[in-house]
Structure 1
Amino acid sequence: MILTVLIFCLVLGSIVGFLAGLLGIGGGLIIVPALVYLLPLVGVSSEIVMPVALGTSLGAIVITSASAAFAHHRQDNIPWSLARPLMILIAIGALLGAFIADSLSSEVLAGFFSVVVVLLAVYMLLSINASKVRSLPATYVLPSLSFFTGVIASLMGIAGGAILVPMLSFFGVSVRHSIGIATACGVMVALFGSLGYIITGFNLTNLPEWSFGYIYLPALLGIVMSSIIFAPIGVKYASQLPVKTLKKIFAVFLILVAIKMMLS
């Protein structure tokens, strides 16, 4: 069954990498629901399936987001004077989110994930053609919002870009810089969030073999190996395919996945 999970996650990673490169959307929105249905095959009980899915998702995102952040840094897409304070607070929020997740049931975590995914997908549908620009708010607003973004992202197993990019764009940061800041912050979310899931799950006895805390290593390996290969392919096709149409389709797909998780 471990080999089956590894093969499935290689396929999952290729899809996640391609869509992340094509649409600029974090893989956690796809990884978490897929792992929720996959992990029971290796004996993960329903009581801990969500924390394992969330921790594994964040572990996979560490490497992919670090690669993306380095690429954006080389292209001067990250205004570090704005990014650094956000990165510190989003890291604290992500670590806290992992400890909050450990205290919640899988049913509550699945419900939270589903509701936030629906909200993000609806916003994605409504904002594709939006172009209204505002100025940056008071200095304490963005750091405060980044802290709560870290908590929410860690509770969802995502890098937080789906929240940060529209938020920063709303406050007048250019799309290029918004994506750059989001990738840098995504590294902190994934790193500190996955660290929290390792700590909180470290001494549990009901985890499957090859687990490191709440992170299931065979799934992590499969996702990372293939997503790194397919992400550049997605970037290549981003200029050739109707991305706005694909984003609409993807948003509807996310809503359907969230509804399925709520019903089950």
Structure 2
Amino acid sequence: MTIDFLLLLLLLGAVVGVLSGLLGIGGGALLVPALTAVFMAMELPSNKVVHLALGTSMACIILTSLSSFWAHHRRGSVRWPIVGYMVPGILVGTFAATFIAAQIPSLYLAIFFAVFMSYVAMGLFINKPAKAGANVGSPATLTLVGSGIGAISALVSIGGGTLTVPYLSARNIPITQAIGTSAACGFPIALAGTLGYVINGLASNDMMYTTGFVYWPAVALIAVTSFFSAPVGVKLAHTLSVTVLKKLFAVFVVFISLNMIRTVIGSA
């Protein structure tokens, strides 16, 4: 790995950390297309770069989400009862979906990602009348929702914030609490997703410095800066207005959707 790639991955980690704290995402939505491009430039096997990006992204999210949700917890913005009900479903859904993702062509994953993210963004731009009180659903509902969020997150290697934040926000959870709770949910998603991508890649990938579909040098470099930059995003999340946060989140998911399609088509 050259010094250029080393510096690029450190910078990528810093950006991902801020986004993780600011929007409650693990950063995978940015990491996957970025890592795909980096791995292609490093001339890693072209038939493995997307799945390596997916697995490496999940591993990066472990430390980033840990830093992010702890910073949110210190500010009292994590709804732990909600997290507790969602985690069992998240673990099962995420782990199981990695076995599906390993078999699906990258282009179809990207199309699914783009369509779903566009739907999410549209919902955030529509101002719905406020409802009285927050109703996130029963424990069984939250577990089921968690399994769906985990499964979709594994398919596109995201920390779940692009799904969890809109879900909680639509049920009248204050946006800062939705972001903090989402950040806490991102940690089990990352753990289960990393384990799944490691297992699925063991038989087909014998590259140096990798375990399964996880490329460890990239994980280490990104984790160094993302861990320390995540609290910066948390501070911004508690400073900006609710309206600004929602619009910023919507613009972000549209951008990553289009970028994901462009990256995957370019690598086909």
TM-score per shorter chain, which class? 0.7 to 0.9
Report what 1:73 is aligned to: 73
> How do 1:196-211 residues align onto structure 2 when only pairs under 5 Å count?
196-205=196-205, 207-211=206-210
Deviations 1:30-74 (A, max 9, x none): 111111111123333332222211111111110111122223333
Contact 1:47 1:105 survives alignment (8 Å): no
Report what 2:219 is aligned to: 220
Give the paired residue count: 261
Report what 2:161 is aligned to: 161
Report what 1:233 is aligned to: 232
The 1:151–1:113 alpha-carbon spacing in structure 2 relative to 1, beyond 3 Å, is: same
Alpha-carbon distance, 1:192 to partner: 0.6
Q: Does 1:28 align with 2:9?
A: no
The 1:141–1:245 alpha-carbon spacing in structure 2 relative to 1, beyond 3 Å, is: closer
TM-score normalized with structure 2 length: 0.84
Q: Which amino acid aligns with 1:57?
A: S
Q: Secondary structure at the residue paired with 1:46?
A: coil
Alpha-carbon distance, 1:162 to partner: 1.4
Q: Secondary structure at the residue paired with 2:203?
A: coil
Alpha-carbon distance, 1:17 to partner: 2.0
The 1:250–1:175 alpha-carbon spacing in structure 2 relative to 1, beyond 3 Å, is: closer
Structure 1: gaps of 5 or more residues: none
Report what 2:10 is aligned to: 10
Alpha-carbon distance, 1:226 to partner: 1.5
Pick from 253, 256, 260 the counterpart of residue 254 of structure 1. 256
Instruction: Measure the CA separation in 2 of the matches of 1:46 and 1:38.
Output: 11
Contact 2:106 2:264 survives alignment (8 Å): no
Deviations 1:175-197 (A, max 9, x none): 34323321221110000111110
Contact 1:121 1:255 survives alignment (8 Å): no
Q: Which amino acid aligns with 2:81?
A: S
Alpha-carbon distance, 1:144 to partner: 1.0
Q: Which amino acid aligns with 2:79?
A: P
Instruction: Measure the CA separation in 1 of the matches of 2:44 and 2:204.
Output: 12
Instruction: Measure the CA separation in 2 of the matches of 1:170 and 1:92.
Output: 24
Q: Does 1:62 align with 2:65?
A: no
Report what 1:38 is aligned to: 38
The 1:61–1:110 alpha-carbon spacing in structure 2 relative to 1, beyond 3 Å, is: same
Question: Which region of structure 1 is more displaced relative to structure 2, 18-27 or 30-39?
Answer: 18-27
Report what 1:132 is aligned to: 130
Contact 1:60 1:223 survives alignment (8 Å): yes
The 1:176–1:233 alpha-carbon spacing in structure 2 relative to 1, beyond 3 Å, is: closer
Contact 1:17 1:230 survives alignment (8 Å): yes
Q: Secondary structure at the residue paired with 1:140?
A: helix
Alpha-carbon distance, 1:204 to partner: 2.2
Q: Secondary structure at the residue paired with 2:159?
A: coil
Q: Which amino acid aligns with 2:259?
A: V
Instruction: Measure the CA separation in 2 of the matches of 1:60 and 1:97.
Output: 18
Contact 1:78 1:180 survives alignment (8 Å): yes
Instruction: Measure the CA separation in 2 of the matches of 1:165 and 1:244.
Output: 10
Tell me how large the CA RMSD over aligned residues is. 2.6
Deviations 1:5-26 (A, max 9, x none): 3322112112222333344444
Structure 2: gaps of 5 or more residues: none
Q: Identity over aligned residues, as a percent?
A: 35
Report what 2:97 is aligned to: 97
Q: Which amino acid aligns with 1:123?
A: G
